[in-house]
Structures are given as structure tokens and as C-alpha cells.
Amino acid sequence: MQTIDNYNFKNKKALIRVDFNVPLNEKFEITDDTRMRAAVPTIKKVLAGGGSVILMSHLGRPKNGPEDKFSLKHIQKHLEELLGTPVQFADDCIGESAVKAAADLKPGEVLLLENLRFYKEEEKGDENFAHKLASLADVWINDAFGTAHRAHASTAVIAKFFPNDKLFGYVMQGELESVDKVMHNPTRPFTAIMGGSKVSSKIDIIMNLMDKVDNLILGGGMTYTFKKAMGGHVGNSICEEDKLDLALEIMKLAEEKGVNLVLATDTVAADAFDNGANTQIVSSMEIPDGWEGLDVGPESIASFSKIIEQSKTILWNGPVGVFEMPKFAVGTKAIADAIVKATTNGAFSLIGGGDSVAAINQFGLADKVSYVSTGGGALLEYIEGKELPGITAIRGK
Ligand SMILES: Nc1ncnc2c1ncn2[C@@H]1O[C@H](COP(=O)(O)OP(=O)(O)O)[C@@H](O)[C@H]1O
Ligand SMILES: O=C(OP(=O)(O)O)[C@H](O)COP(=O)(O)O
């Protein structure tokens, strides 16, 4: 199989689908460039091999054609800094300016195309649009893991125009290797920590993990749906009343499959959803009226940490408290610390999902775990066992 490592890029134009969908502030400054930094090795590999690079990406979700706030020109300068080389910019992705800039591109040069989603054909997976993109280059590299769950023109449909010249980039390779290691070949014990606000948004993953993990730690807002289902009193805590039966079903399934399902036993309850709220530590089964659980308590932190530190494979998705407020970030920080400790002792740890990645970055611990995914929705769908169009386009079914 052709890979980015054995492909001969000499004098070839490589069209790389990257996920440069980075957050920008009101001054159009990049507030988190993780996805851009991740793409650098693939770009450098092509350049070092004597090829030229044409980068294409979406940014945000423009709905009505070109709009300055969604223009990729906002990231051009920072990309030049990351690559240490000039980056040309075409103000279109398929029109005359793109065609001319691509045709004039010399080995060693980099061209960034304008936002793909300025054309509705991108999200529609339009074949003619994909063909126009494909005509710009000799080889297509998909390195947009964060967008691999979208069957769009540039992420999937375009593959048919490169039957012998389609490759995964290093981001894709790294993500797939990490998830496969965790999901198909875990060293045991394997512990998954699932947090976040609702059980309904995590149910498919929980079910898929049930056949694979030894320990399943459930934290965050979803805890209270379980506690209520068990006959507890959850006060004002977030709780999905229509998912009580589902919670009981999950507990029963865990028992049948021999999975050690671990829920918080104590909770940091607050009298308001506010960093300045009054707090008290209470049993997760007995949260007083007028109070809501916003973080796990010290007893839960101790039991979660012990399990995590003894694990050899760890998957973490979703904060176990409202970590955006410092007062309720203690549990999530403790999880991160335990994962770092386990990793230092030889465990393989994969962190993914928008908010858990934001949390690990906020704590400055991203480089102390084995792998931090660049995918949010894409990673979750992959862990759920779904087929991702951006992967199938290259690997086949
Ligand atoms: N006890 C809680 N009550 C309310 N919200 C919570 C609680 N614990 C965590 N959350 C919230 O859950 C959100 C993350 O949920 P989710 O999107 O499912 O996670 P991820 O993005 O990591 O997949 C965070 O904004 C966090 O504040
Ligand atoms: O940021 C992204 O996904 P994520 O918010 O799930 O991490 C990707 O760039 C995909 O964007 P989309 O969800 O607008 O298709």
C-alpha cells in the first residue's frame, strides 16, 4: 500500500485536505492552533520530497457563500510562521485564481486555497466540484481527521479522481493508530473515563466500550441520571428524566459483561451555577433541594485516581465537572493528573472530544499523555464503531 512515507513526491503537486477549522477571536486571531501544528509534518514531508503543496480546508460553517469572517486568509500568516516558509493564498478554491496559482506552483512552494465551504457543493459532495479540485494536483492526501466523519467533496468524493494517488497524511495515520491500539489491542487493564453533560450524547460510545473495557468510570452531569435511577435525590442537578431506564440498563449490562462500572459517590454541590456559588460536599445520592452537583467530590477523586493509576490503557472523553469554572475543575484536573501518572508508568493514554482536549490544554498537560486527538465528532463516531467516509475513501470498506 502507498503511504506518505514511500510515495515519490518529486515534481508532484500534492493537494492536502487539512482541518484548519481553528477557533478565531473577534480580531481574527487564532486562539488554539493545535490542528494547524498537527498538519506541519505532512506538509514538510511533501516539500522535503521535492513536491509542492496545495492546502484546502473549511473554516466554520458559512451558509451564504464568501464571508470575510470565514476566510482562510486569516490563518495565512500564522501558517507561514509554523512552516518557516512563504504561503501563497488563492482567494478561491476552484476558480481562475486557484487554477492559475496551482499551475504556477514550483517544487518547495505552498499554496493555501480559500474556504471550501464558500461553495455549497462542498458539503453536498458534488462530483463536478470535487473534479475541479482534483484537477489542481497530481496526488491527494487526506489529513483532516477532524472532518473524516463528513462525506464531503474534498474529504471523500474526490478520492475517485485519484485511484492510484490517494494517501493518508501523518495526522490521519497517528489518529487511526492510536484509536486502533485502544479499541482493538488494549493492554489490560483498560479503563475508559466518560464525562460530559448528558448520557444521551454518550450512549453509543458507552455501549460500544462495554465489550472492550475492564473499568468504565462515568462522571460529569450524566452521573445524576444514574443516581436518580438508583433511587437517589439529585436536587437541581442536570438529569435526563427520560433516560432513567437507560441508566439502569447500562448498569445491568455492565454487570452481565463483567465491566467494573464506577460512578461518583460524593459530589461538590453548589447553590448556583456560578464560580462564586456556595458549595458543600454531599453524597451523590442525597443532594439537597436548591443545590446542584457541579463536580465530583474527594472520595470519588480518590477511587477514580486509584483505578486510573493502575491501568495500562486509558481512554478519556468528557470532563467530570463544570471545568470551565475553576471552582468545579478540581475533579477534571485530578483525572488529568492520574492519567499523566499512569502514562509516566507506561500506560497508553488517548484523550479526545472537544471539551476534554480543552481541559488537558488548560491544565498544560497535553504533552504528558500519549495522544491527544484533533477530532471531536470524528473521534466519537470512530469510537462508536461507525464508518468514517474520509477513512473509507482511502482504505476502502
Ligand atoms: N455536573 C455537571 N453539570 C452540568 N454540566 C456539566 C457537569 N459536568 C460536566 N458538565 C459539562 O459538560 C460539558 C462537556 O460535555 P460534552 O460536550 O459531552 O463533552 P466533550 O466535549 O468532552 O465530549 C462541559 O461544558 C461541562 O461543563
Ligand atoms: O471542528 C470540527 O468538528 P468538531 O467540532 O466535532 O471537533 C471539524 O472541523 C468538522 O466541522 P463541522 O462539524 O462543521 O463539519
Q: 188 among the known binding-site residues?
A: no
147 lines ligand 2 (CB under 6 A): yes
Alpha carbons 247 and 117: distance in angstroms, whole number? 39
258: left (phi over 0), alpha (psi -120 to 50) or beta: left
- Whether 198 is catalytic is yes
Per mean pLDDT, which range of 202-206, 243-247, 281-285, 331-335 is the poorest? 202-206
Alpha carbons 160 and 157: distance in angstroms, whole number? 6
Q: How far is the CA of 199 from the centre of ligand 2 (A)?
A: 21
Q: Which of 355, 362, 374, 383 to mutate for ligand 1's pocket (most ligand atoms within 8 Å of CB)?
A: 355
197 shares its domain with 340: yes
- Whether 35 is catalytic is yes
Residue 7 located in a structural domain = no
Share of the chain above pLDDT 70, in %: 100
371 shares its domain with 335: yes
DSSP letter string, 200-221: TTTHHHHHHHTTT-SEEEE-GG
220 lines ligand 1 (CB under 6 A): yes
344 shares its domain with 195: yes
Nearest 5°: the CA angle 324, 278, 334 is 45
pLDDT tens-digit readout, 81-127: 999 999 999 999 999 999 999 999 999 999 999 999 999 999 999 99
Residue 202 located in a structural domain = yes
DSSP letter string, 64-118: SS--GGG-GGGGHHHHHHHHTS-EEEES-SSSHHHHHHHHH--TT-EEEE--GGG
Residue 304 located in a structural domain = yes
pLDDT tens-digit readout, 50-64: 999 999 999 999 999
Q: What is the CATH number of the domain that holds 220?
A: 3.40.50.1260
352 lines ligand 1 (CB under 6 A): no
Q: How far is CA 241 from the centre of its chain?
A: 29
Q: Which pLDDT score is estimated for 168?
A: 98
Choose, from 44, 198, 327, 341, the residue flagged as catalytic.
198
35 shares its domain with 156: yes
Q: What is the mean pLDDT of residues 166-173?
A: 98
Q: Which of 115, 148, 171 is the last residue in one of the domains?
A: 171
Q: Which of 171, 197, 218 is the last residue in one of the domains?
A: 171
pLDDT tens-digit readout, 129-138: 999 999 999 9
Residue 135 located in a structural domain = yes
Q: 346 among the known binding-site residues?
A: no
Choose, from 12, 44, 49, 377, the residue flagged as catalytic.
377
Pairing label, strands 266-270, 292-296: antiparallel
165 shares its domain with 223: no
Alpha carbons 269 and 259: distance in angstroms, whole number? 28
84 shares its domain with 211: no
54 shares its domain with 113: yes
Alpha carbon of 202 to those of 71, 115, 118, 207: distances in Å? 33, 31, 32, 9
How many independent structural domains does the chain possess?
2
Residue 162 located in a structural domain = yes
Contact in structure between 192 and 184 (CB atoms under 8 Å): no
Q: Which position has the grid cell 446542584?
A: 292
Residue 328 located in a structural domain = yes
DSSP letter string, 228-247: HHTT-B-TTS---GGGHHHH
Residue 355 clears pLDDT 90, i.e. is over it: no
Q: Which of 147, 152, 373 to mutate for ligand 2's pocket (most ligand atoms within 8 Å of CB)?
A: 147
- Whether 188 is catalytic is no
- CA-nearest residue for atom 12, ligand 2, is 147
**Cell (9 digits) for 277:** 456559588
Q: Which pLDDT score is estimated for 323?
A: 96
Choose, from 12, 44, 341, 354, the residue flagged as catalytic.
354
Nearest 5°: the CA angle 179, 181, 185 is 130
Domain that holds residue 110: 13-171
Q: Which position has the grid cell 486509558?
A: 314
366 shares its domain with 331: yes
How high is the mean pLDDT of the chain? 96
212 shares its domain with 339: yes
Q: 324 among the known binding-site residues?
A: yes
Q: What is the mean pLDDT of residues 25-33?
A: 93
Q: Which pLDDT score is estimated for 60?
A: 97
Q: Does the bond joining 41 to the residue before it have cis omega, within 30 degrees of 0?
A: no
Residue 359 located in a structural domain = yes
Q: 345 among the known binding-site residues?
A: no
Residue 1 located in a structural domain = no
Q: Which position has the grid cell 514538510?
A: 44
Q: 58 among the known binding-site residues?
A: yes
Q: Which pLDDT score is estimated for 397?
A: 77
166 shares its domain with 197: no
Q: Which pLDDT score is estimated for 353?
A: 80
**Cell (9 digits) for 171:** 495526522
317 shares its domain with 366: yes
338 shares its domain with 250: yes
CB atoms within 10 A of CB 79: 24
